[in-house]
Structure 1
């Protein structure tokens, strides 16, 4: 009888093993997928700026995510996406391997696509143009800052995350993409763009001079990428040799980029003073300071508009609060959050908001922006008309710099 019972128990165990055999082969994969979810959770847990994690129990979020059976990497990314979405922070996001590579290429100085910097409007969820990159297919087609992108190749942009939308607009050089675009006041239109290599040379520099006025060095900085610091240094050096006595730094429609690039470029204009404060979730304040290595003390005016964001706002705020420059234009975009990038074990990446920044006078820029010293509205102009006589913001900057008393007393430059 005892042997018979033992045989029955063994048969039941064998039946259970056979019956559950359908999930045994993927158990290892499931463990690997869960490890990736746990890896993302741990990085956010250690680094995220908001210690309340959007007023939720972050540990319970982890438990809920790891309870799920995850059968493949696609489902893993979906679980990670939902976990991060609970933070209600569009800047904290998971980047799949191809997206992560594209981002690294973008910040390195070159990409292939249509040349749009985009953001999600937090209130409406609509995809919005921050700025087209100068000389890009999007800029040449007349797409402007503030335009809304409703569809990409006929698919509503509400179906995409921010990174997915960016990926949809990238592609092989010479291929086409159709965007459905709605302007601020104009009707919706379809725009066909041919993708091209976007050379992210971020600087345009020229000496502007006319009879009876001081020679003005005009520097347009389009993006804070891996080339920006060296290119701006080269531009200032060249303009100094050409005899520039004053400068216009044009940050209009500059969406930002590398934080460190913004700090280093601020040091080109400042001999001393705080450039920016950073505040982490413990409320610990760090700061970046000028290093007594300014490349010029000549008077300076900075041009900004609604497309001026992130690292551009750090630079403009540093120069304004240190009374190194007058700011002319419109109130800026208002992105005062700092993200760090983390490599993940599967080749994907994670962008996490780790701190916020404040100007030297402790002005919180996030959602508020920088208010110029001289408010001048931005009238959309053709690319070849920017920084010409029809550009009212540029004309105002010239008027400030060519005022005899301003140049003679150098109140915007040499602080003695």
Structure 2
């Protein structure tokens, strides 16, 4: 081994030692990912580095090894953590992690970028991207090979009137299909409301952006004026937004003071409470969820469950809700780490335990269908013929089941039906 390689080896071992110790301490404080003595992990790192330096067939590029190790440390935590190179760290923008590029809420699932929800009428929807699609490539970049932050940065950085190509994977598609996302026009995620029966109203929340809780409450008032004493609150495709909006909306439909918590390092917990007097609707309530329900919307669903306001109907939620912070490193790079996770009033965080429905309604292909990870060509489902037989239901079976419950045809709600009561608008 050359003198230069030995120097790099020492530097790499020192860097990995520091990161292993820090990572181990963070994990121990958070009672999360990397369990055990951090110094034991340090020894393993040192052994790996020595084997790479001494036994690899060629003289390794130790800088690449170091970067790969740091990326691996971040990947081992959760999808929202990342190692940022000096160039990435210098242009980092916090709003990138909370963006909804082209009307998509993007996370990661099984290593791929994943469209948790797509806003109807958005550029992504117009291009043919659907909720639940895997994003295999952004342009020519494989999403399995980069962090979620890098995926979001590529999508967010498209200029106005510009475009970017994505390759999507979906059950029923024999191979990846390309879609061109054009950054044109604006899109919104408005509150939708209507009467489903003479005494039953329906509200679809959409993304919980700023001011959305007041809009939903206003819609509930209007429905009550039209005779609604029962309400279906649809949280499907509500996968993004402001935590404060989730807390406010939960307080409007549940009587409890504590509706959620923020969990941080050192087992610290911050209770999130609804404003006194915010409970505005005490009629029969059913909440709809599926895998496109995430983040602040999970706060609403969990509060309704915990305070026994009514049934949670549909499928389990996605399991998200967190906050990140950047920790600069001495070479100009940085670590993007999750520092806060959202959780219900009791129990584990939503990332660890998504909200499960009290009344499960199975929909075809409810779970994301994983592509063939071993294929060199664009992945396709293992059995195309079988997948083609799985078609979405012709009707909204989750909503249908909710309306049956409110009618009392098959199962009584957890809470006796009572007349909805809403305060008069100021």
User: TM-score normalized by structure 1?
Assistant: 0.68
The equivalent of 2:129 in structure 1 is: 143
Which residue of 2 is the match for residue 162 of structure 1? 148
In structure 1, distance between residues paired with 2:351 and 2:203:
26
Is the contact between residue 100 and residue 348 of structure 1 (CA under 8 Å) also seen in structure 2?
no
| 2:103 is the counterpart of 1:115 | yes
1:370–1:83: structure 2 CA closer, same or farther, 3 Å change rule?
Answer: closer
C-alpha separation between the residues in 2 aligned to 1:360 and 1:52? 19
CA shift, 1:79, in A, is 9.8
The one-character-per-residue Cα deviations of 1:159-211 (angstroms, maximum 9, x if unpaired) are 4321221222232333232221111342223233242357564432322144x
Structure 1 match to 2:192: 205
Shift of 1:247: 1.6
How far residue 328 of structure 1 moved from its aligned partner, in angstroms, is 0.7
1:360 Cα offset (Å): 3.5
TM-fit CA distance, 1:399: 2.0
Note the 1:42-57 alignment, pairs <5 A.
50=30, 54-55=34-35, 56=38
Match of 2:256 among 239, 256, 272: 272
**Larger CA Rg, structure 1 vs 2:** 1
- Aligned: 1:176 with 2:163: yes
- Say whether the 8 Å CA contact 1:277–1:362 is kept in structure 2: no
- Distance in structure 1 (CA, Å) of the matches to 2:263 and 2:204: 30
Instruction: Tell me, yes or no, if the aligned pair for 1:342 and 1:349 is still in contact at 8 Å.
Output: yes
Equivalent of residue 417 in structure 2, options 403, 410, 413? 410
Q: Return the match for 1:396 from 386, 401, 412.
A: 401
C-alpha distance in 2, partners of 1:259/1:45? 28
Structure 1 residues 230 and 409: CA distance shift in structure 2, 3 A:
closer
Give the Cα separation in 2 of the matches to 1:157 and 1:181.
11
Query: RMSD between aligned alpha carbons?
Result: 4.4
Question: Which of these residues, 167, 170, 191, is aligned with residue 178 of structure 2?
Answer: 191
Residue 249 (structure 1) aligned with residue 254 (structure 2): no
Aligned-partner SS, 1:138: helix
Separation (CA, whole Å) in 2 of partners of 1:132 and 1:52: 31
Q: State whether residues 106 and 115 of structure 2, in contact with CA within 8 Å, keep that contact through their aligned partners in structure 1.
A: yes
In 1: Cα distance, 2:204 partner to 2:268 partner:
34
Q: Which residue of 1 aligns with 2:78?
A: 89
Q: Relative to structure 1, is the Cα distance of residues 400 and 350 closer, same or farther in structure 2, using a 3 angstrom cutoff?
A: farther
SS in 2 for 1:103: helix
Deviation per residue, 1:93-121 (Å, 9 max, x gap): 45746552643883xxxx6x422222222
Q: Is the 2:283–2:420 contact (alpha carbons within 8 Å) kept by the matching residues of 1?
A: yes
Residue 279 to residue 309, structure 1, CA distance change in 2 (3 Å): same
Aligned to 1:223: 207
How far is the alpha carbon of 1:316 from its aligned partner?
0.5
Structure 1 partner of 2:384: none
Q: 1:408 deviation in Å? A: 11
Question: Cα deviation per residue 1:111-162 (whole Å; 9 max; x = unaligned)?
Answer: 6x422222222xx422222121222122234433332211122332234321
Scaled by the length of structure 2, the TM-score of the pair is: 0.66
What is the CA-CA distance between 1:397 and the residue it aligns to? 1.6
Distance 1:363 1:317 in 2: 11
- 1: distance between equivalents of 2:333 and 2:30? 23
Structure 2: runs of 5 or more not aligned: 1-17, 47-63, 367-392, 422-426
Q: 1:120 to 1:408 in 2, by over 3 A?
A: closer
Distance 1:349 1:221 in 2: 37
- TM-fit CA distance, 1:371: 1.6
User: 1:48 offset after TM fit, Å?
Assistant: 9.5
1:103 to 83, 96, 99: 96
C-alpha distance in 1 between matches for 2:333 and 2:185: 24
Preserved contact between residue 315 and residue 360 of structure 2 (Cα < 8 Å): yes
Give the Cα separation in 2 of the matches to 1:240 and 1:174.
43
